[in-house]
Structure 1
Amino acid sequence: MSDLKTRTRIGNTLDTYLLKKLKELSNDTRIPMSRLLDEAVQDLIKKHNPTPPSSH
């Protein structure tokens, strides 16, 4: 089994068309889908929470 020290497995569903396009993008760019998904989630978090909470 692979070493997932900084990764967490999740189970989810994705729109069939979006999954097809994600796989194509991954193949075309040779960037793993997990890394593309990380980037997409980071972008969503920035979009919906543009200012990070202040540290106390």
Structure 2
Amino acid sequence: MANKDLKNRIPIGSAVNKTLYEELKNYSKETGIPISKLLDKSILLFLKSTKK
């Protein structure tokens, strides 16, 4: 069941490449940008790139 405290977000679970995850985690730490926000941006860019 989804966390009831989340109003505008939904928790997801997925498995990713270990190296990519480490790079993402390091980037998040260096920039102070939360991983969830980086994933939002990545998904948005992917969806925009696949629209015809």
Unaligned runs of 5+ in 2: none
Unaligned runs of 5+ in 1: 51-56
Q: CA deviation at 1:2?
A: 7.5
What percentage of aligned pairs have identical amino acids?
36
**Length-normalised TM-score, structure 1:** 0.82
Q: What corresponds to 1:10 in structure 2? A: 12
**RMSD in angstroms over aligned alpha carbons?**
1.5
- Where in structure 2 are the equivalents of 1:1-56 lying within 5 Å? 3-49=5-51
Larger Rg: 1
**Length-normalised TM-score, structure 2:** 0.88
- Count of matched residue positions in the alignment of Structure 1 and Structure 2: 50
The runs of at least 4 aligned residues of structure 1 exceeding 6 Å deviation read none
